[in-house]
Structure 1
Amino acid sequence: MKIKILDCDKILYQGNIASITAPGLCGYFQILENHAYFISILKNGIIKLYIDGKDRKKIKIKNGILQVKNNSIIVIL
């Protein structure tokens, strides 16, 4: 899947990932490849990006919006 994480003035991360775990309003959720169309409000927490088998990246956030569409994820913080 492709992902782009945007802050107000810069791109925090852009690339391909295997999955993402993000803090939604009702708790953490995970998005895998071929996920259905999805939009969620994000709250304070940590986004975890799983790039391949062992690589993982963490990004601390305060709030934002996440959209999944056609194996492409956009996160606006």
Structure 2
Amino acid sequence: MKIIIISYQKILFQGNIISIIAPGYCGYFQILKNHAPLISILKNGFLKLELESEKKKIKIKGGFLQVKKNMVIIIL
């Protein structure tokens, strides 16, 4: 699954991931491969990315997340 995380200044992360856990408006949720299309508001918290060889944690202050055809786009 591909992901791109964009802030108003630059691209924070771009690449392939196994899963992502994101802070949604009503709580954290997880996205895996072949997830149904989804748009969500994100609140303050951490994006937890699971890559093939490591895990990353990115602190955010809200934003939007879209999932479509194994592509996750996050705008902060």
- TM normalised by structure 2 equals 0.98
| Identical amino acids, percent of aligned pairs | 66
**Bigger strand share:** 2
4+ aligned runs moved over 2 Å, structure 1: none
> In the alignment, what sits opposite 2:32?
32
- What is the CA–CA distance in structure 2 between the aligned matches of 1:76 and 1:20, rounded to whole Å? 15
RMSD: 0.7
Task: Report how many residues are paired.
Answer: 76
Q: Which runs of 5+ in 2 are unaligned?
A: none
Cα distance, 1:9 vs. partner?
Answer: 1.5
Q: Which runs of 5+ in 1 are unaligned?
A: none
> In the alignment, what sits opposite 2:12?
12
Question: What secondary structure does 2:35 align onto?
Answer: coil
